[in-house]
Amino acid sequence: MVLDLHTPLTDFPGVGPARGKKLAKLGLTDVESLLTYYPRDYEDRRRSSAIRSAPEDVPVCVRAMVAAAPRLNRIRRGLELVKARVVDATGTADVTWFNQSWMKDALRPGEEYVFFGRLEGQGGRRRMTNPVLQRPGDEAVTGCILPVYPLTAGITNHLMVRLARQAVEACAERLPETLPQPVRREHRLAAAEWACRQAHFPDSFETLAVARRRLVFEELFYLSAGLALLRGRRTARKGWRMEPAPVDGYQRLLPYPLTGAQRQVMEDISGDMAGGRPMNRLVQGDVGSGKTAVAGYAAWMCAQNGGQTALMVPTELLAEQHFRSLSALLEPAGVRVGLLTGSLRPAEKKELHRAIAAGEVDLVIGTHALLSQGVRFPRLGLVVADEQHRFGVEQRALLAGKGEAGESPHILVMSATPIPRTLALIVYGDLDVSVIRELPPGRRPVATYLIGEDKRQRMYNFIRKLTGEGRQVYIVCPAVEEGAGDPLGPPLKAATAYAGELQRDVFPDLTVGCVHGRMKPRDKEAVMSAFARGELQVLVSTTVVEVGVDVPNAALMVVEDADRFGLSQLHQLRGRVGRGSWQSYCVLLTRNTGPETLSRLRAFTATTDGFRIAEEDLRLRGPGDFFGQRQHGLPQLKVASLAEDVELLREAQDAARALLAVDPELTRPEHRPVLERIRALFAEEADAFN
């Protein structure tokens, strides 16, 4: 069979339509896809030994002769043993296979085979269980480093190894070298073909590391180059050149002095919006660092220039809250502020749409629907996305053409989930980043405790004490209704039932409210505003309070089944308290006593630095929490690990920038393969690259 990169896998012997379908589920359709389907692990099967001297604790290859015909024993239904005695010059081993009855016929007395497995017992008479068998003429499954592939039902590793071996042997040399020669030389990267061979069938773990380095670099390089290309195109576009607005003038509108960090970010923003290019800036600030005031500044500057601002937030609750604080702040300065939410009555909505289209509203606050609801902004100058990683590359690209006369509006993204720097470089690789690491003065760190079920009563007493002092309390549960979570474990605390129970049995004299994501927006809002007005003392909720809600009188955050939450999420929750001038507390309850869980949660109680927590979360849980379901619009990484390959990421980014510095649109013929790879990588966003 002659193979090329596009030979379908169904042409391989032993792969029929049924297996073909299963392989396709893994994304494997042709030789090329197979070559870039890398093992998830490797098994070292190189060590060989004589029977007598084999160590007990690691598997080894033993070359030995079958001494007598193997016997098959049917112990009972579902349990069959094949037993054989094998010998070499140093000793004897009794070999047993469980439920592999075909072994009986695979072995011939008097023949020599290689067995790979652990030898138990000592001396000249030892035991092996379920060893891997290598017959003469079989393809090598012993004496090598064996790749272990990600599998699916019906596809064995054995099959994968066989297919990969054929593909690598026939076609690795046909893989095009897409990395430019100077990049490879400068960063000491192995050739594509060699890296592919070694990634599948490494000669040693050292060569594997060299190969992996090339593949990781390559992946991060194309990703970085794609993002840098997007960024280059953006900065080549025209943006509304606005007159700068003095930060001191804005300060006069505020009841408190801005922090140095807030001022700095405002200067960054002012510079961007006055620069003649569309701003595309991310403001990263820990919870409570005062990002709303920063957004207010940007909207104020935009309004002074006769522009409209759309401020998008993820929930209606947050929209209401921003509306309250920003209209109080900006209306006195003549900025007209509107609130557009799904709970407006049709007539109100129509009127607001009209006012926006007539340019009678300067700042419109609403959920994401804001821009897609057919609302027309005749003078859109600025889009602010609060709390959102959900605001991905493609939405930003979509906005690019919405401004006046082909000018792209300025974009300001505000994130309260501190993202590890390395991730920010990827997730926001096409953005400029400002960081607020300073909290307003006078904030006392939230005292955080981790407790078990045995201290529940004391926690209730504490709630009673704080509410007695006039404070309010949040209690967050991982579920809305009973029955969620692991069916075998204890039921998770469920917001609705728990709230009822607390009101009835524990705090009959306090007012307990409940809010969760399945309630109608209007009802949610009613409960939240009752809490904000101080009419509720205890608010039981799901993570709907996670994002942005600001009730300064709340001084205690209790998190039930805290092990169910990621550290960054816990940090967000904790950020809901400690906003006033009194000491605030966060109590994590857990019924999970696993040492890893406890150490993770303890690490959380020991620091209040959101950036450190984010790094820790990344290390422990991987980038999923940051990337996860969020529509970041970025391609999936196949080989690189953002938690581990930080250094390589920096290198790849430098290389990508250097390349684009000499050839900004990658139009040179020698860079064509790079552009093609980028296109393929960002296939879902093809538009962005046309």
Q: Which of 91, 226, 288, 623 binds ligand ADP (CB under 6 A)?
A: 288
- Nearest to ligand ADP of 207, 289 (CB atom): 289
- Nearest to Mg ion of 90, 325 (CB atom): 325
- Nearest to ligand ADP of 259, 568 (CB atom): 259
Indicate the helix (H) or strand (E) that contains 348: helix 346-357
Sign, CA dihedral 571-576-580-585, equals: negative
| Position closest to ligand ADP via CB | 290
Indicate the helix (H) or strand (E) that contains 447: strand 447-451
> Of 393, 424, 438, whose CA–CA distance to 411 is shortest?
393
Triad 218, 223, 226: Cα angle to 5°: 125
Place of tokens 């069959």: 80
- Nearest to Mg ion of 64, 283 (CB atom): 283
Residue 571 found at the interface with ligand ADP (CB under 6 A): no
Residue 315 found at the interface with ligand ADP (CB under 6 A): no
Encode burial over 590-625: b for 16+ CB neighbours within 10 A, e otherwise: beeeeeeeeebbeebbeebebbbbbbbbbeebebeb
**Residue 177: CB partners within 8 Å, gap ≥ 6?**
184, 191, 192, 193
Q: Measuring CA to CA, how many Å separate 574 from each of 286, 522, 554?
A: 11, 25, 11
Query: What does 396 interact with, of Mg ion, ligand ADP, none (CB < 5 to 8 A by kind)?
Result: none
Q: What number of other Cβ atoms are within 10 A of residue 291's Cβ?
A: 24
Residue 290 found at the interface with ligand ADP (CB under 6 A): yes
Residue 513 found at the interface with Mg ion (CB under 5 A): no
Sign, CA dihedral 648-652-658-659, equals: positive
Triad 47, 53, 55: Cα angle to 5°: 60
- Nearest to Mg ion of 291, 571 (CB atom): 291
Q: Please choose, out of 117-125, 269-277, 541-549, 554-562, the segment that lies near Mg ion by the rule CB under 5 A.
A: 541-549
Q: Which of 95, 220, 258, 666 binds ligand ADP (CB under 6 A)?
A: 258
* Contacts with ligand ADP, 419-448, as mask; x by CB under 6 A: ---------------------x--------
Indicate the helix (H) or strand (E) that contains 103: helix 103-106
Query: What does 448 interact with, of ligand ADP, Mg ion, none (CB < 5 to 8 A by kind)?
Result: none
Residue 291 found at the interface with ligand ADP (CB under 6 A): yes
- Nearest to ligand ADP of 167, 577 (CB atom): 577
**Residue 33: CB partners within 8 Å, gap ≥ 6?**
27
Helix residue spans in 417-494 (DSSP H):
421-427, 456-468
Query: What does 133 interact with, of ligand ADP, Mg ion, none (CB < 5 to 8 A by kind)?
Result: none
Triad 200, 203, 209: Cα angle to 5°: 70
Residue 61 found at the interface with ligand ADP (CB under 6 A): no
Residue 285 found at the interface with Mg ion (CB under 5 A): no
Q: Please choose, out of 19-27, 429-437, 545-553, 617-625, the segment that lies near Mg ion by the rule CB under 5 A.
A: 545-553
* Contacts with Mg ion, 243-282, as mask; x by CB under 5 A: ----------------------------------------
Q: Could you give the CA distance from residue 642 to residue 222 in angstroms, rounded to a whole number?
A: 15
Query: What does 287 interact with, of ligand ADP, Mg ion, none (CB < 5 to 8 A by kind)?
Result: ligand ADP
Q: Where are the beta strands (DSSP E) in 77-214?
A: 79-87, 92-98, 112-117, 125-129, 132-134, 145-148
Residue 576 found at the interface with ligand ADP (CB under 6 A): no
- Nearest to ligand ADP of 54, 299 (CB atom): 299
Residue 284 found at the interface with ligand ADP (CB under 6 A): no
Q: How far is the CB of 288 from ligand ADP (least distance, A)?
A: 5
Strand partners, 385: 312, 413
Residue 131 found at the interface with Mg ion (CB under 5 A): no
* Contacts with Mg ion, 290-319, as mask; x by CB under 5 A: -x----------------------------
Query: What does 258 interact with, of Mg ion, ligand ADP, none (CB < 5 to 8 A by kind)?
Result: ligand ADP
Q: Which of 147, 239, 285, 338 binds ligand ADP (CB under 6 A)?
A: 285
Strand partners, 86: 66, 93
Instruction: Please tell me what DSSP assigns to residue 564.
Output: G
Query: What does 554 interact with, of ligand ADP, Mg ion, none (CB < 5 to 8 A by kind)?
Result: none
Query: What does 289 interact with, of ligand ADP, Mg ion, none (CB < 5 to 8 A by kind)?
Result: ligand ADP
Rg for the chain, CA atoms, rounded = 31
Q: Please choose, out of 51-59, 253-261, 446-454, 638-646, the segment that lies near ligand ADP by the rule CB under 6 A.
A: 253-261
- Nearest to ligand ADP of 150, 552 (CB atom): 552
Q: Two tokens at 557? A: 């955050």
Residue 416 found at the interface with ligand ADP (CB under 6 A): yes
Q: How far is the CB of 298 from ligand ADP (least distance, A)?
A: 13
Q: Could you give the CA distance from residue 618 to residue 491 in angstroms, rounded to a whole number?
A: 28
φ, ψ dihedrals at 479, nearest 5°: -135, 160
- Nearest to ligand ADP of 250, 507 (CB atom): 250
Instruction: Please tell me what DSSP assigns to residue 641.
Output: -
**CB 566 within 8 Å of CB 613:** no
Size of the site for ligand ADP (CB under 6 A): 18
Q: How far is the CB of 580 from ligand ADP (least distance, A)?
A: 8
Q: Could you give the CA distance from residue 281 to residue 351 in angstroms, rounded to a whole number?
A: 32
Please write down the HEC assignment for all residues of 280-300.
EEEEEECCCCCHHHHHHHHHH
Instruction: Please tell me what DSSP assigns to residue 503.
Output: I
Q: Could you give the CA distance from residue 23 to residue 37 in angstroms, rounded to a whole number?
A: 11
- Nearest to ligand ADP of 254, 643 (CB atom): 254
- Nearest to ligand ADP of 164, 258 (CB atom): 258
> Any idea how long the chain is?
690
> Of 18, 20, 31, 38, whose CA–CA distance to 637 is shortest?
38
- Nearest to Mg ion of 291, 389 (CB atom): 291
Query: What does 285 interact with, of Mg ion, ligand ADP, none (CB < 5 to 8 A by kind)?
Result: ligand ADP
- Nearest to Mg ion of 381, 548 (CB atom): 548
Q: Two tokens at 90? A: 């140093």
Residue 478 found at the interface with Mg ion (CB under 5 A): no
Residue 418 found at the interface with Mg ion (CB under 5 A): no
Q: Which of 171, 287, 319, 473 binds ligand ADP (CB under 6 A)?
A: 287
Residue 578 found at the interface with ligand ADP (CB under 6 A): no
Q: Is 610 helix (H, G, I), strand (E, B) or coil?
A: helix
Distance in angstroms between the alpha carbons of the first and the last residue of the chain:
38
Q: Which of 202, 366, 548, 610 binds Mg ion (CB under 5 A)?
A: 548
Q: How far is the CB of 384 from ligand ADP (least distance, A)?
A: 12
Q: How far is the CB of 278 from ligand ADP (least distance, A)?
A: 24
DSSP codes, 10-60: GGSTT--HHHHHHHHHTT--BHHHHHT---SEEEE---B--TTT--SSS-E
Size of the site for Mg ion (CB under 5 A): 2
Q: Please choose, out of 254-262, 395-403, 417-425, 642-650, the segment that lies near ligand ADP by the rule CB under 6 A.
A: 254-262
**CB 157 within 8 Å of CB 151:** yes
Residue 554 found at the interface with ligand ADP (CB under 6 A): no
**Site residues for ligand ADP per CB under 6 A:** 256, 258-259, 262, 285, 287-293, 416, 440, 548, 550, 552, 579
**Site residues for Mg ion per CB under 5 A:** 291, 548
